[in-house]
Amino acid sequence: MRVLVTGGAGFIGSHVVEALRARGHEPVVFDVREDTGADVRDREAVARALTGVDAVSHQAAMVGLGTGFADAADYVSCNDLGTAVLLTAMADAGVRRLVLAGSMVVYGEGRYECPRHRVVRPGPRAADDLAAGRFEPGCPVCGEELFPGLVGEDAPVDPRNVYATTKLAQEHLAAAWARSTSGSAVSLRYHNVYGPGMPRDTPYAGVASFFRSALARGEAPRVFEDGRQRRDFVHVRDVAAANVVALEADTAGGALAAFNTGSGEPHTVGEMARALAAAYGGPEPLITGEYRLGDVRHITADSSRLRTDLGWKPEVGFADGMREFAGAELREG
């Protein structure tokens, strides 16, 4: 299969390219980092790149929380306009298979249970509570302590920041394209992806990159809130393998299928920072109590649908992955 990989020179995209080659496919890299400087918003460049292509792995995106709402126009342009241009060109070229780099951020907060009111959906955390160190959301009905669990794909979506909003819009666009063309569209809702080749020292990278960059500078990783936020850290090679499995799968046309893509092993951010610092041999993490509006408290994946429906399973465990990541090279920007 000849597969166009948008963002194919980036962190996740480059691993997708390697995984495709290992499975005997022919990846075609489309990326602004390449000498051609191809941008997914360039309609003519996208149309040319789709020549002879059987499927698309759409990884190109502006990621992370960035620097706040000032980035909103850039996020919408890169992620949503870019996706619309790509899907239009795919419709014109007759390419009917898409795997989209989705994100767990579309859910907002994860799954919570109240002992009295069962499954509940807490709203955004108030700035006053965060400033006072009250990081855990309470039950929206009775205010009592909640217990976090694994979020499934059927959970309501509730994006809490600009990036999350654009990732949900990408899914809506892909669903509309699938209905219009009878194409096959899969969104892999990535959880916290880490591994070799992460970008260093940028506000658009993930938390694992922030910590690894700090250690490389000889500094202690700075952990926001109290470090007890629960996340699902999934290795980039496992994410790349999920993309290949999704591209090869016989998925139905005419609709979007969404799959959580996580390790299935929740860990706290503080736990990750300690494991990474210990493996690197650097300073112990510093729990700062700082916070960012738009961050969610707990979000961990139920990835059983991806395992059951497509036969994927993660291969890189947390401890081994952190040891590898501690010695891995990071990329610039």
Catalytic residues: 163
C-alpha distances in Å from residue 3, one per residue of 18, 21, 184, 293: 12, 10, 14, 38
**299: amino acid identity, one letter:** I
Tokens representing 257 are: 């299928």
Whole-number Å distance between alpha carbons of 173 and 88: 10
Whole-number Å distance between alpha carbons of 14 and 257: 24
Whole-number Å distance between alpha carbons of 283 and 306: 37
C-alpha distances in Å from residue 19, one per residue of 16, 66, 178, 247: 5, 29, 25, 11
Under DSSP, the state recorded for 12 is H
Best CA proximity match to 301, nearest among 105, 125, 15: 105
Whole-number Å distance between alpha carbons of 143 and 145: 7
Residue 58: enclosing H or E segment and its boundaries?
strand 55-58
Q: Rounded to the nearest 10 degrees, what angle do helices 82-93 and 162-181 cross at?
A: 10
Q: Rounded to the nearest 10 degrees, what angle do helices 269-280 and 318-326 cross at?
A: 50
Coil, helix or strand at residue 280? helix
Whole-number Å distance between alpha carbons of 310 and 118: 31
